[in-house]
Every structure is written in C-alpha cells, then in structure tokens.
Structure 1
Amino acid sequence: MCGITGWVDHHRPHPTTHPGETTSPDPESRLLLAAMTATMTCRGPDAEGLWHAGPAALGHRRLAILDLAGSAQPMLLGEPGHERLVLTYSGELYNYRELRGELAAAGHHFRTTGDTEVVLAAWHAWGPAAVDRFNGMYAFAVWDTRTRELWLVRDRLGIKPLYYRPLPGGVVFGSEPKAILAHPASRPRVDDEGLAQLMLPLLKVPGRAPWADLREVRPGHLLHVRADGSTTERRYWAPQPREHHHNRAETVAHVRELLADIVTRQLVADVPLCTLLSGGLDSSAITALARPAGGRAPRSFSVGFTDASGEAADTEDDPYVRLAAAHLGSDHRDIVLDGGRLADPEVRAACVRARDLPIGIGDLDLSLHQLFAAIRTHSTVALSGESADEVFGGYRWFHHPEAVHADTFPWMADSPAHGRLHQRILALFRKDVRERFAVEDYVADQYRTALGEVRHHDGAGASEHRMDEIGHLALTRFLPTLLDRKDRLSMAVGLEVRVPFCDHRLVEYVHNIPWSMRTHDGREKSVLRAAVADLLPEAVLYRPKSPYPSTPDPVYSQALRGQLAARLAEPDCRLPELFDDAALHDAVTVSEQGSLIGNVGAELALNFDVWLRAYDPVLPL
C-alpha cells in the first residue's frame, strides 16, 4: 500500500517542452513535488519516487507488500526519455496473476513480479476499460505522454482514498488532503457546505470533502483530465438490480464459494500477514477462511483495555475471542491499551493529522490507531471483517422499525438503533451556527439525493423496495465513513488493512438476494452465518452483534475532561465559535462513560481544538 500525489497543469508555464522528458529543469516544481510526496511518508515508509515532465508531476511513497526489491514507482512504460505511460499507484490487485498471464500471452514482457506493472500493462492494452477487469482496492493516476491526458481512478467501493482540487489547467491530486494542501494553489479553507459536513461525522457525501474546492474521486469512478485542462468524471461500476435465481441452499453455497476465493486471494503478500479477531461472526469467519486446507492458521490480534487498577479489563469480546482463537488454532495475541496512554494529547493529535479533519467519534479512533501501531510491530498486512454489516445487513438500524421507516438516514434517525448519536452530536454545536448553515436541511437534501440514485428490483413489494434503499444508503453514505477511518488510521502507522467483504463480486451478489432470504432465520446476516456454519463454534456463530469496544478506564475520561477544561480557560481557544456553551460545560463536568460512545462532547471538542490549531483553517463564520 502506498501514497500517491501530483498534478497536471496545462496553463502553468513550464520549461519542459518534450513529452517523455523525465528530468525537469524546473527545480522549484521538483521541490514542490517532493514536499507534497513527503506528507505521505507514513503511507509509504519504504521508498520515494518522483517523476516530472512538462505539465505533469507524479509522486509516490511506497509500502512494499509484493515484489519487495522491484516495482519502484512512478513506473514507466517505455524507456526514460521515451515514456508512453507513467503510473503512480496505491493498492492491491487481487487478480493480478490471471491478468499477468493474459497480458504476457498478448506479448507484454514483464520486468517485475508485482501487481503494479500489471496495472500499467493493462492500461496500455485496454485503456480505461482495464478497470472493468480489476479486482482489488486501488487508487492510481496514469499520465499519457502522447495524448497529454491524465486519468485518476478509484476502486469500486472506495476502499482507497483519492482526492483532487481543480486547477485552471488541470488538477492537483493526492491520497490524502494533506498532500494537496501542501500545493501553493491550495489553502486550508472550509466553505459553508464543508462546515455543515463537519457537524455531520456520521454522513459521507460522495465526491465532497469539507475542505473548500476539494473533491474526492467517487468510488467506482474515473476522472479524465484532457490536454486542454478540462475534466470529466464518469462512473464505471455500481451494483445493478438483477433477478436472484438461486434458492436458499444455492445462495448459501455460492456465498461460501465467493468468500473462500476472496480470502485466498487476499492472503497473497511477501510480508507478514494477520487477521483482526474480535470474536464476532465477521472477523471469525475471515480468520477461519484464512487457514488453508492442512495449513497453519494466521496470526490474529484483538483489542483490550486497562481498568481503573491498571490491569487488563474483562471485555464483552474476551470469551468469544478466546473461544474462536482456540477453535481456529490461530497464533493469537491480545493488545491491551492503557487508558492513560490513550488520553495522551499526542495520540489525539496523530489521529487528527491522519484524517486531516476533526471527525473522530469517541475513543474509537484513538484505540484503533494504537491497536494498528501495535500490530505493525508484528505484521505489515491485516485482514479485517469490516463492511460485513453493510453488505449483509447486520446493524440494528437495518431491523429496528423506527429506523427503517424514518424519513432520513436510518443511523441518523431519532431511534435507539444507533444510540441517538446523531442527535447527541448535533446538540453540541451552537444553535445559531446549526441554523445559519441549515444543517438539518442539508441532511434532508442529501437523503433525497441518495434515494434518487436507487434502482429498485422489478416486481418487489414496498418492504423489499425500502430495504433496497437502506442497503444503498449503507454502502454509499455509511460504509465510506468506516473505510476512510480504517484507511487513514492504519496507513498512519504503515499497516495495510484489507477488507474481504468489500470484494465487488460479493457485494453485487448479496445486493440482489431478497431481504426475506437474507434474514431467513429471523436474525441479521442469516446467509453469512449459514455460509460459515461449519467453521465456527456455535457460541461465536450466534453471538449477538456487538459494537467496537470502548475503554472502561476512568483515568481516560478524567483526563479528557481535564484537558478540555484547561483549553477552555486559555484565551486563544476557538471552540466557543462553534460549540454551545452549555454543551462545553457539560463536556467538562459530566462523564458519559458507559453509553454507546462515551464523552462525545469532550472527544469532539478536543478534536476540533487540535484541528483548529494544527491547520488554522479559514472558517465561514
């Protein structure tokens, strides 16, 4: 996994006039490219590469996973000075071996053994249609030296991030906003819509980022930058409604077949690999499938926390983790996180810098960051069960009538299905700010926009139609918040996390399974449970859905409230510009420990304080 950045600017004067010239005589531009690339050293600690010629500049930071000694980037098709294509690529192509064989048979001579050259050769052979053949998680940029066009490409589900900012003659792009913000054409500014988004951390608006003029290449889309600097973005993938012809037994068998193939493909790596094991259905299924027939189970890790005495606390996950690890024979290790360490302001600052935004909720970001950092000392790649709930319908809001039938995003409904978290968050901000930026109207507009994208299954009744909508909302507005969190916090410590349940073949297939069949046993994720029933202990198989754990250590809660009180007493504190005075007072004086996500007020306020000081953004206030 890697970090990519660069630009194409056809309007900017540049001394290089011959396409394909790789050594630019423009030292200022090369220094700028190096500075932008350096912002993503954490994403690629193993190597750096720069390429600059004419209007185009491409930078790369590498985390070596395959072909450790080769596959340097940016990668060229052709010899230096006579390039045809230049690629900077982040991701993993899980079907690269099949594509490599097909391309070799067509005459391409490979110089490396990894997947990067396969992407480059595939683009040369098939152009933008190559993405229809790709199976993986990826974000990449391809510069065509002959047509003087740039293409930005993002994987189908948006597992890997890719941002861009329009320029008069093209775009500047990067895996993370920090790379783009290092470009002189950018400045840390938030517009009206961006501020509304910052008050809505549970909602991801496709293609939009809170930073002014900053865009994301949408999942399953390509951005084409032409030789005149104009741009066009087009979609190349979305799940399509199709009639489901399999009966229940055939459906379960096909899901199992898909999962087995997906996990097998995602086990390919030239570096140590592990799984994240919480003792739930999803992570246990991945860990079970990661053990090849007759082979050793992978190393697995779980997260735990200290209690008030400083000893490891008992968590809801513990008995299930132990049962699953023993049953599967995994080489398991518990990572126990100390409450005092989690409360260290440097940990929070690292998480805010990783995400470039103050949107983390509770200690979930902090503990996930620290868990990933601990795992990175043992493994470079981890497989996660994330996204199974969105794909198979595991959350309470898929099943709670108040959430399902609410005229809004179900996880933002005024129901207990998501702990009324949206209402708790929004109430933290000043009423006049909420009203000035019409936050509730913005949510309603985004909801209507999302519903307008849904393509229903023909002949389905009203109930199935509504579940079509809930599934679409989950995949396009909820899942992206979790994928972004996972990517940014893992890559901040140089750990690649793979998500087998995001394989587009599985998503397409499950998308068309009738909801009545997906819940045939009266429970959530019925098809998934049936597909792996022979692999897991019954207690794990039928374990109720449990959220990601939160620290029970009162030291953490006390430290948070003390830090917030200290900041509010300092004259340069900007939090009252955004947050309600009474809410800030309660965040300092009242502990929410034990709720679905505790200390929401203190957590969010401290995140905003770190962000405001680190980025000094211009706000539309």
Structure 2
Amino acid sequence: MCGITGWVDFERDMHGARDVLRGMADTMACRGPDAQGYWTDTHIGLGHRRLAVIDLEGGVQPMTVEHDGRTLAAVTYSGEVYNYRELRAELRALGHRFRTESDTEVVLHAYLQWGAGMVDKLNGMFAFGLWDARSEELVLVRDRIGIKPLYYFPTERGLLFGSEAKAILAHPEVRPVVDQDGLRELLACVKTPEHAIFHGMYELRPGHLLRFGRAGSRIQRYWALEAREHTDDLDTTVRTVRELLEDIAERQLIADVPLCTLLSGGLDSSAVTALAARSLAERGTGPVRSFSVDFAGNERDFTANVVHSSPDAPFAAEMAGHVAADHTNLVISLEELTDPRIRSLVPKAYDSPAAMLGDGYASLYLLFRAIRERSTVALSGEAADELFGGYGWFHAPELRDAKTFPWVAAGYDLIPMLSGLIDPGLIADLDIDGYRAQRYSEALAEVPVLPGEGAAERRIREVSYLSVTRFVPLLLDRKDRMSMAVGLEVRVPFCDHRLVEYTFNVPWSMKFFDGKEKSLLRAATRDLLPRSIVERKKSAYPVSHDPRYDAALRAEFEKLAADSNAPVHSLIDHGGVRQQTGDGWPYRIGLEFMVQLNSWLENHELKL
C-alpha cells in the first residue's frame, strides 16, 4: 500500500533535500515497513515507504523511466491498480518495454503513452505523485472514490504532498495550525471534499488530479457520479451486480503475499468472503483465510440496541463453516481496550481525534495488528450499505427527508455527545450548525440531475450521493489509518467505480424490491450464503458492552479534568462535568473524543 511524500521547489536545488524527505517519509514508516527510497532532481524530491504486495523484488520506489540516459518521469505511488496486467499487455503492444512485474511501472508507462488521460484507464485504489521531467511538472492523482489519501500544501516557492498530514507537518517550513474551519470540520461529522484540518493544507479530492508547474497549479476532475436512465429489468440488474462482484473479487485477490477477508457475519462481509472463497477454490489456492473481532464478556453483556441488532460471533462462525474458511475470531480483552497506549495510537494515526465509533477505532487497530501476523492484505465489506441502501436513513422518512446530512439526523452528531464535556462557549463560537448547513447546501448542489425523475426518486439519489461522497470517506479514512498503522493493506471491493456507477442509477424500487434492506445485494449473492445470513438484520461494527469500559474511560477523563497541565484542560466544561450523569453509547463517544483530543494536543505542538 505504501506511504508517499514529495517536495517541489522551483527556487532550490533539491539534490540536497534528502534528509528532509527522509524525515517526512519516516513519519509514515508504519505504512511502508518493508523498504524506503528517495529520488531527487533539480527542483523535485520524492520519498517512499514501501509495503511490498506485488512484485516483491522489482517494485522498488520511487520508480523512474529513462531514455538515452535521461529521466523522462519518476513516480512515488501508493495503492493497487487491479487491471495492470491488461494495461501492461496493451502498452507492450504499443512498443513499451518493462523491467518489472509491478503495477507501479505500468502507471509510469501509461502516463508516457497517454499523458494525464491515463487515469481514465486505471481500475483500483491509488494515490501517487508523478514528476514529468520533460516539462518539469508534478501530477498528483487520487482514485475515484478516495480509498487512498493524498494531502498537499502549497508553499511560496512550490508544493509539498504526502499520504498523511504528518508527512507534510514534518517539513521544517510547516507549522501545525488549526483554525476555526479546521475545528468545524473536526466536529461537524462531515467529510468536506478538499478540506483538511490543518490551516494551509488540502486533501486532493477523489476523482481529481492536480498539475503543478512553474506557472502554478490547476485541479482537474476526471471522474464523477452521473445520473443516467436505468434500462435493465430486475433480473438483468441482479445478474449484472453479481457479474461485477465476481469480476471485482477475482481482480482484488491478486497479491504476492498472504491474503484474507474481514468477516463479521453480516451480509456485506459474508458476500465478499464467499466470492473470495469460490475464486480461490477455482484457482486451487484455498481455503480463504478470514478474521472477525469480539470482546471478552460480550456473550454475557451484549444488549441489542438500534445499531447493534445481534452479536457477530455466531454468524461469523456459521459463515466461515459454510465456505470452509480458515477462520480466526479475535477476542479483545478489557485490559487491551483500555490501555492508554492503544487509545493514543488513534489520534496519532489520524493526525486528529477520531471518536464517532467510540472504542471501534482501538478495537479495529487491535484486530488489524493480529491479522498482520498472518496476512498482508485483507478484503473488507465497506460501502455496501451506501450503494445498496442499508442504513436506516434510506428507509425512515424522518431521516431520509431531513434538511441536513441524513447520518446527522440519525444520531451521528458529535455536538450533543459533547454536552457537559467541552466548553459550550467554544461550540457556540464555531457555529457548527451554520457550518454544516453550508456544507449540506454545497453537497446538494453537486448532485447530478436526471430529467423527468420524480421527487421521491430524486431524494433517494440525493441521499445516495451524500452517502457515497460525504459518509463513505469517513469510513474509508478509518479503515486506511487503522490498517496502515500496522502495515496492513485493506481492499474494498464495493468501492470499485464500475459497481458504484451502476448501483447509483438503479431505481429504489429495485434496491428495495422485496421490502428488505439491500434487497439487490441479497438477491445477487443469495446462493452463496447461509439462509440465516441472507435474512440477518443489519448490525453495526461491534463494540464492547462491558460497563467497566465506560467506567475506565470516565476515570481517565476525570483525571484530565483535574489536571491543570493537561492540554485539553482549558477546553473542558468543568461546571458541566460536575453535573454530568450521562451514560450509554452517546456519552461514551463524547468521552472518547475528549481523551483523544488531549492526546492529539499533547503529541502535536498545535496552535489553535
């Protein structure tokens, strides 16, 4: 998967910049534990930390292409292009010669053949910086859905970029400053395209590329969701979804390292695991390896609620048996989950607090750490709910038709969870409601229009667009940061842009044809799954139900509230804390955020 970074400066000889590049790249050593590399030319320096997945020996980076002793182009690349073998064959037919078996080299030659237009040919998850030595121009590219992150920071004389904010913050000319909009973005539970938490820093928008040269920079969109009339009948639609899923699974199982699936026992992860098991069996390379997560005592403490309808473990075990998977159920202890060292890793990996799933970040880190001992690549079921209508906000009118982001209406709102914990004056000054309303209006204005579409179908299209472009990125960030913190590559088959494009235009009457959530996905994969899983009601990512976890979290926060030297101390609503008697899931999330906020402020010399 890798970590990438780079520095362009048109008024400096960059041949002497390796120490700075090394410092930037070293912040992402966990993303690339297998190797590191640097390449410099007169005005450009590229850095790379490698997680070796394809062509373990030949895929060393940064990678260059030369002709007659002159460098034509160089790239630092992160991700996977799943159709690289077909592209390599096409390029060979056009006269290109390859010295490796890596997808990185295919990307380089594709650029030399087709220029920046080559992005239209790529199927995969990727973020890369490519230096065209002929024109002295940097091209930054991010995949269509935004699976892989890419940040950049314009300077007076050039530009910095990196897979994570921490790589840019390691540059000696950059100071970590978070302004009001940064704090609003942090608290609003909205992933605004292009916006980063740190002042002066930006995140390249999914489906876009940035070209930077002496004349300045320009951003170009190469992909976006489009509204098209869906002409397939239901049977054809179900068959098309199945064929797409089979092709996606086949492509995403390509790796030169051990591979597995994340299996919760829900519909999405079970479908991915079943498709992977079938493909591996046909190759004669099975069984599929799968992993699930549970918590010590959950069989005793589990209580169903609005987001957790049933425990995962029995369903994961049944699915694993159904496909004869080599399955591991990781049981996390309370001691592991409450370890302050583990919790502090979350804001370190994110470069910001991340608490919307409570202990779901630390537990995911622990799961990925255990998986990494046996596998280097994992397939996940992320984004199926957004594509096929699995969330309550697709179904409940009061959520679907709310005049805000539907997940905020559904309760994914950090502000009330911080009541009595954070200084209310700070919240009032930030005007989160106004900021969120502005971002909501901007997002709605982007939704493509299908002429003649009725109001109800139009609203479903809006909710789908918001979910794919504003909510999925929150989940992809979580998956990327927690997995890369241990050097694990996680692939997301449901984010294949062909599937996203197709399902975006399937009418709601087909997505909900039998009155159940994700009807279309159930129909497309029914023959692969046990009946219990086909009929299982959606249940969110599992969390600990042990009341001792909440007590430990509360105790940790109270220590911070009593410590005048704690970085978060001045931001705490001390009067509210004394009166606070809350408990349960929302209160846990608020406490989690405050504890992470302190760790973030402690580990970054931030100016707010």
TM-score of the alignment, normalized to the shorter chain, above 0.5: yes
Q: Which of 235, 239, 244 matches 2:225?
A: 239
What is the TM-score with the length of structure 1 in the denominator?
0.93
Q: Contact (CA 8 Å) 2:355, 2:589: kept in 1 or not?
A: no
The change in CA–CA distance for 1:427 and 1:445 in structure 2 (over 3 A counts) is farther
Single out whichever of 306-315 and 244-253 deviates more from structure 2.
Answer: 306-315
The separation in 2 between residues aligned to 1:418 and 1:271, in whole angstroms, is 40
The change in CA–CA distance for 1:166 and 1:554 in structure 2 (over 3 A counts) is same
What does the per-residue CA deviation read over 1:74-111, in whole Å, with 9 as the maximum and x for residues that have no partner? 00011696211000000000000000000011111110
Aligned position for 1:328: 323
**Aligned pairs (5 A) from 1:549-568:** 549-568=542-561
- Which runs of at least 4 in structure 1 moved beyond 6 Å after TM superposition? 308-315
The change in CA–CA distance for 1:310 and 1:471 in structure 2 (over 3 A counts) is closer
TM-superposed CA distance for 1:177, in Å, is 0.4
RMSD of equivalent CA atoms = 2.0
The separation in 2 between residues aligned to 1:543 and 1:313, in whole angstroms, is 17
Is it true that 1:373 corresponds to 2:350 in the alignment?
no
Single out whichever of 600-609 and 256-265 deviates more from structure 2.
Answer: 600-609
The separation in 1 between residues aligned to 2:375 and 2:578, in whole angstroms, is 43
Aligned position for 1:125: 113
Single out whichever of 605-614 and 562-571 deviates more from structure 2.
Answer: 562-571
Q: Contact (CA 8 Å) 2:414, 2:590: kept in 1 or not?
A: no
Match of 1:171, as an amino acid?
L
Q: Which of 445, 450, 460 matches 2:453?
A: 460
The change in CA–CA distance for 1:208 and 1:341 in structure 2 (over 3 A counts) is same
Single out whichever of 500-509 and 163-172 deviates more from structure 2.
Answer: 163-172
TM-superposed CA distance for 1:207, in Å, is 0.4
The separation in 1 between residues aligned to 2:246 and 2:391, in whole angstroms, is 24
What does the per-residue CA deviation read over 1:350-370, in whole Å, with 9 as the maximum and x for residues that have no partner? 111100001233101000011
Single out whichever of 570-579 and 172-181 deviates more from structure 2.
Answer: 570-579
Aligned position for 2:248: 262
Match of 1:459, as an amino acid?
G
TM-superposed CA distance for 1:424, in Å, is 2.5
The change in CA–CA distance for 1:369 and 1:451 in structure 2 (over 3 A counts) is same
Aligned position for 1:392: 388
What does the per-residue CA deviation read over 1:271-299, in whole Å, with 9 as the maximum and x for residues that have no partner? 00000000000000000000225443310
The change in CA–CA distance for 1:394 and 1:576 in structure 2 (over 3 A counts) is same
Is it true that 1:609 corresponds to 2:598 in the alignment?
yes
The separation in 2 between residues aligned to 1:354 and 1:503, in whole angstroms, is 25
Aligned position for 2:209: 222
Aligned position for 1:301: 291
Is it true that 1:341 corresponds to 2:336 in the alignment?
yes
Is it true that 1:212 corresponds to 2:196 in the alignment?
no
Match of 2:251, as an amino acid?
R
The change in CA–CA distance for 1:576 and 1:311 in structure 2 (over 3 A counts) is closer
Q: Contact (CA 8 Å) 1:276, 1:301: kept in 2 or not?
A: yes
Single out whichever of 292-301 and 248-257 deviates more from structure 2.
Answer: 292-301
Is it true that 1:192 corresponds to 2:187 in the alignment?
no
The separation in 2 between residues aligned to 1:77 and 1:520, in whole angstroms, is 52
Q: Contact (CA 8 Å) 1:397, 1:418: kept in 2 or not?
A: no
The separation in 2 between residues aligned to 1:35 and 1:538, in whole angstroms, is 53
TM-superposed CA distance for 1:559, in Å, is 1.8
The change in CA–CA distance for 1:213 and 1:247 in structure 2 (over 3 A counts) is same
Q: Which of 79, 94, 110 matches 1:91?
A: 79
Is it true that 1:534 corresponds to 2:530 in the alignment?
no
The separation in 2 between residues aligned to 1:321 and 1:480, in whole angstroms, is 26
What does the per-residue CA deviation read over 1:509-555, in whole Å, with 9 as the maximum and x for residues that have no partner? 00110111111111111111100011111110110010111112333
What does the per-residue CA deviation read over 1:570-598, in whole Å, with 9 as the maximum and x for residues that have no partner? 121233433433554466x6442xx3x56
What does the per-residue CA deviation read over 1:22-55, in whole Å, with 9 as the maximum and x for residues that have no partner? xx2x2xx211111111111100000000011111
TM-superposed CA distance for 1:342, in Å, is 1.0
Q: Contact (CA 8 Å) 2:301, 2:545: kept in 1 or not?
A: no
Single out whichever of 312-321 and 527-536 deviates more from structure 2.
Answer: 312-321
What does the per-residue CA deviation read over 1:428-482, in whole Å, with 9 as the maximum and x for residues that have no partner? 4332212212211000000000000011222110001111110111011111010
What does the per-residue CA deviation read over 1:99-145, in whole Å, with 9 as the maximum and x for residues that have no partner? 00000111111100111100011011101000000000000000011
Match of 1:284, as an amino acid?
S
TM-superposed CA distance for 1:7, in Å, is 1.1
- Secondary structure class of the residue paired with 1:92: strand
TM-superposed CA distance for 1:307, in Å, is 2.0
The separation in 2 between residues aligned to 1:41 and 1:299, in whole angstroms, is 27
Q: Contact (CA 8 Å) 1:306, 1:312: kept in 2 or not?
A: no
Single out whichever of 547-556 and 61-70 deviates more from structure 2.
Answer: 547-556
Is it true that 1:283 corresponds to 2:264 in the alignment?
no
The separation in 2 between residues aligned to 1:131 and 1:68, in whole angstroms, is 24
Q: Contact (CA 8 Å) 1:170, 1:231: kept in 2 or not?
A: no
Match of 1:567, as an amino acid?
L
Q: Contact (CA 8 Å) 1:60, 1:73: kept in 2 or not?
A: yes
The separation in 1 between residues aligned to 2:106 and 2:114, in whole angstroms, is 12
Match of 2:315, as an amino acid?
Y
Q: Contact (CA 8 Å) 1:307, 1:554: kept in 2 or not?
A: no
Aligned position for 2:30: 42
Match of 1:337, as an amino acid?
I
Aligned position for 1:251: 237
Aligned position for 1:600: 589
- Secondary structure class of the residue paired with 1:577: helix
Aligned position for 2:102: 114
Match of 2:45, as an amino acid?
A
What does the per-residue CA deviation read over 1:182-229, in whole Å, with 9 as the maximum and x for residues that have no partner? 0122111101101111222x210100011111100000000110123x
What does the per-residue CA deviation read over 1:306-330, in whole Å, with 9 as the maximum and x for residues that have no partner? 1299999997112211211111111
Is it true that 1:273 corresponds to 2:272 in the alignment?
no
Match of 2:210, as an amino acid?
L
The change in CA–CA distance for 1:276 and 1:602 in structure 2 (over 3 A counts) is same
The change in CA–CA distance for 1:426 and 1:476 in structure 2 (over 3 A counts) is farther
The separation in 2 between residues aligned to 1:308 and 1:334, in whole angstroms, is 13
Aligned position for 1:412: 408
The separation in 1 between residues aligned to 2:343 and 2:203, in whole angstroms, is 25
The change in CA–CA distance for 1:544 and 1:421 in structure 2 (over 3 A counts) is farther
Q: Contact (CA 8 Å) 2:346, 2:354: kept in 1 or not?
A: no
Q: Contact (CA 8 Å) 1:46, 1:61: kept in 2 or not?
A: yes
Q: Contact (CA 8 Å) 1:275, 1:287: kept in 2 or not?
A: yes
- Secondary structure class of the residue paired with 1:523: coil
**Aligned pairs (5 A) from 1:505-520:** 505-520=498-513
- Secondary structure class of the residue paired with 1:68: coil
Q: Which runs of 5+ in 1 are unaligned?
A: 17-23
Single out whichever of 58-67 and 449-458 deviates more from structure 2.
Answer: 449-458
